[in-house]
Structure 1
Amino acid sequence: MRYAVEAVRIVKKYVTKKRKGFFKSETEVVEALKGISFKIRYGEIVGLLGPNGAGKTTTIKIVSTLLLPDSGKVFIDGVEAFKNLSYVREKIGIMLTVEKGFFPKLTGRENLIYFGTLYGLERKLLEKRVNYLLDLLELKELGGSDKLYEEFSLGMKARLAFARALLKDPPIILLDEPTLGLDPVSARKIRRIVKDLAHKEGKAVLYTTHNMFEAEIVCDRILLINKGVIVSEGTPEELKNKIPKLKVIRAVLHGGNMEKLSKLISSSLNLKPEIKIVERGLEVKLAIKNPEEILNDLLKIFNLANVDVVSLNIEEPSLEDVFIYFAKGVIE
């Protein structure tokens, strides 16, 4: 099978200076990627999910040929990327950040025409494509077509950056946290278009995010990355099934003392609760295999601690629990 994207044992290191005192520094080597490998098919959205500094942006830059790996290979549409740069870059559309690269004194339309011209698109085709993308991302409706870029809201800037990534109608799309900091309406619009591009038009999408909710609703498969290593991969459901079959008891309580409650639960049930202050009082979270077996004892503890139960739910593990399990080896 010819994959849209195939990364093979990619390694990338950065050399930085670590300050020691006021006048001295020492060289430090940071290994951003530690031999990661993955494949992406046409027609699917693959999420690269991880915290800040996990290696997501470095991966995107290497796959797009903007950054050379120290070792390893990248294949785009079956072709070795760094030996066929012109061919590969025609196949890829990339959105790295919302704001970089646009001209503040040009309108949204003028910016897209400028970049389309750089991409070598013929004039009539370019005008048609620009009009289509302005309509698709509702920039005409928002006034962004004829408004100067410096007057754009963050949501409009994100839509324009996404439009630029789609100018060439590329079969492979690389999106680096495309909804970061956006209002819910703009974020929802971008997610819906991404899903249509993959599932209706057959494009391959690599989608980086640290948002668990977003990864679960957008991505067909997820690569969990932490400290430069892919710690697990699969569909959201497959990932959930890989961790121990623990369920989560989540209770919201009114009144009581956090420290006293934690000690009571730990000593009585031999479990370590996660307790935090929320708007309605205290939230207690416990991970356990058979929560039904301890519910009565837990309610007695709440009564002993002189707290009122506002709500109590038993939940299946979330994608966040999965990530914590694989990244740290525990469910919090």
Structure 2
Amino acid sequence: MTTGIQVRDLRKDFPVRDRGLFGPRTAKTAVDGLDLDIPAGRITGLLGLNGAGKTTTIKILATLLRPTSGTVRVDGLDTVADARAVRRRINLIAGGERMVYTRMTGRENLWYFAQLYDVPKRQVRTRIDDLLALVGLTNAADTPVERYSRGMTQRLAIARGLVNDPAYLLLDEPTLGLDAPIARDLRRVVARLAAEGTGVLLTSHYLAEVEELCSHVHVIADGRHLAAGSPAQLKTATGSHATVRVTVPNPSPAIAEVAARFGATRTPADDGAEVLTLRHPDDIAGPLAAAVVQAGGSITALDITEASLEDAILTLTDRTARTEAVPA
């Protein structure tokens, strides 16, 4: 039965020493009461600033770390009590971490991991060949990984992450260090896997990648859940609207009236020109430009900057920080 990955009240504390090697130990909380749902057939984003708890969360989901408290279930299987069964259903691709053996060849790495995942023997050779072709390493299949470039090593790590045909794929900065064409190909593979029913959890600092792939995003800070929704919903909820800039070479009182009517700010520019700037949730560029022309003005530049997911995340984390800074 497919029920997805369900994270409930997840907490992870790490012991730290306050004063050097022999100081007293205290607990540092990396994940604090987190609830998440990663359904099959969808790419779900997990976003936050550095230190938010994203990698710790993914490692718990991958059974690499035990939670301090709370539960994680994969299709009803507990990641602690049923860890062996869970590992057959998931896999992890993490950029920037060594996930393959450098003294083995690419083909030997995939064969080794296929044995660990109990891939049926009759499928191993074909699957290895298919994965090497998928990541563009067919010609380097029998070369030791220690002679691979960083990008080649990461491509092999992607193939390793797919060797067991996982039901759920955990991606922690998967395109880190990849050339643009390979990163694009990986995005296509991930989108295809999700369309075929694989559940995917993605963390990435490349937010354009998140917007391209993710239909649903969770934002966390200091290990706590802040918000969830589609990228568009998060941008709208935080007031992260598109910005329109209209450069008017001949400002006048009539143009000033247009700016006031639309709520646009007026900024002096070079050669006596003026820039009208407006942030708005709707497509306001056309009406603003038309009003300027009707008021007798001309336009030398019209720029539209789309709202960014980064702005939404920064707004959410800043709001949280300001709220926590207010004395009770």
Question: How does the TM-score come out when normalised to structure 1?
Answer: 0.77
Does the aligned pair in 2 maintain the 1:250–1:313 contact within 8 Å? yes
Compared with structure 1, are the counterparts of its residues 123 and 323 closer, same or farther at alpha carbon in structure 2 (3 Å cutoff)?
Answer: same
Counterpart AA for 2:134: L
Say if 1:103 and 1:315 are closer, same or farther in 2 by CA, change over 3 A: closer
Q: Which runs of 4+ in 1 moved over 4 A?
A: 23-26, 249-252, 289-292, 303-312
The aligned counterpart of 2:309 is: 319
2:178 is paired with a residue whose SS is coil
Instruction: Classify 1:214/1:55 alpha carbon distance in 2 versus 1 (closer, same or farther; 3 Å).
Output: same
- Partner of residue 185, structure 2: 189
Inter-partner Cα distance in structure 1 for 2:18 and 2:302: 48
| 2:186 aligned partner, one-letter code | I
Structure 2 equivalent of residue 294 of structure 1: 264
Q: For residues 315 and 134 of structure 1, do their structure 2 counterparts lie closer, same or farther at Cα, with a shift above 3 Å needed?
A: same
Unpaired runs of 5+ residues, structure 1, are 253-288
Change (3 A) 1:105 1:313: same
Structure 2: where are the runs of 5+ without partners?
248-258, 276-298, 321-328
Distance in 2 (alpha carbons) for counterparts of 1:250 and 1:210: 28
8 Å CA contact retained: 1:247, 1:290: no
Alignment of 1:105-120 (within 5 A): 105-120=103-118
- Cα distance, 1:164 vs structure 2: 0.8
C-alpha distance in 2, partners of 1:125/1:79?
26
Matched, 1:32 2:30: yes
- Counterpart of 1:54, as a letter, is A
Within-5 A mapping of 1:180-219: 180-199=176-195, 201-219=196-214
2:124 to 123, 126, 138: 126
What corresponds to 1:270 in structure 2? none
Which residue of structure 2 aligns with residue 277 of structure 1?
A: none
TM superposition shift of 1:303: 4.5
Superimposed CA distance per residue, residues 250-308 of structure 1 (whole angstroms, 9 cap, x where no aligned partner): 699xxxxxxxxxxxxxxxxxxxxxxxxxxxxxxxxxxxx9995335x32xx23599999
Q: Distance in 1 between matches of 2:212 and 2:39?
A: 19
Instruction: Specify whether residues 120 and 291 from structure 1 end up closer, same or farther in structure 2 by C-alpha distance, changes over 3 A only.
Output: farther
Structure 2 counterpart of 1:285:
none
Query: CA RMSD of the aligned region, Å?
Result: 3.0
How many residues end up aligned between the 2 structures? Answer: 287
Identity, % of aligned positions: 36
The offset of 1:316, in angstroms, is 4.0
Pair 1:222 & 2:217 matched: yes
Residue correspondence of structure 1 range 63-212 to structure 2 within 5 A: 63-140=61-138, 143-199=139-195, 201-212=196-207
| Alignment map for 1:271-290 (pairs within 5 Å) | none
Distance 1:314 1:172, change over 3 A: same
- Residue 252 of structure 2 is matched in structure 1 by none
Counterpart contact for 2:2–2:40, Cα < 8 Å: no
Distance 1:291 1:58 in 2: 49
Answering whether residue 226 of structure 2 is matched by residue 231 of structure 1, we say: yes
Which segment is superposed worse, 92-101 or 205-214?
A: 92-101
